[in-house]
Structure 1
């Protein structure tokens, strides 16, 4: 799962993981697996991510490396249609993709280390348990103020709503008698 087909093969062969991580909250907003690391895998992940968030065109940047699945016409056309800027950086430069590379390390060391899977379905279940059951909801992160990604987002949007309400309250007309 991840970078090379021999990284963590299952009894049924390799399983590739594609994920989209929100830079703001570090939340994995979408992920998908496949026996093949191709444009369809990445495109499916993108579709799940788009379905999970309300975003205006021009507000997103899709960071990736120079793999053929990320530079494919199929994916780049979809990004353009959604108004998403593609960012791949220069060859050998890991900065654009560092956040997801960090995710691969976490998935491998915290979620899958020392485990083998007889089937891709069992590996998928382990990924679900780690990503959705632990990482997004319970794994605290120092850069998020020692909150999990979901807690960080909830706190942010609660604070934002409170500030908007306070702003509305201070700008209401004063009744006259």
Structure 2
């Protein structure tokens, strides 16, 4: 699990992360971040006193492919290499590059809207199934749709209560840690 490296990065925004480790102090150790997912991303930290600083410009992150990445933070000194931490990070797309008509809602919000649209359309239909020319259509029972709607309403409410659903873009995360 990543504790010292951001788990959420937005393409097109600057990234700055400072890492301080008594076990792997700069400049004796060099620290790198290896990200593997939709495209490989390799980052080298620069020494700043005893700290290691990852600093990536917005121009450089703008080319990063959105998606889920496996992350390995590694410290190296000569032939000696240690993994400091590992986990996953998500690279979100640069909002500037998002096409017209983009739906910013998450899966739960889109699914809830679809379920409610089906319920609204079904309100005027009285048959659960019918057969025409030997082909049968069976609709999902309204009770099942209501149950799904309740579950997705809860998921959307939890998402919004966490504040995550209220931002248009993710904020830059600056991290400083030490041992």
Give the TM-score, by structure 2 length: 0.23
**Which has more helix, going by share of residues?**
1
Q: Based on CA coordinates, which of the two structures has the bigger radius of gyration?
A: 2
Q: Which has the higher contact order (CA 8 A, sep 6+)?
A: 2
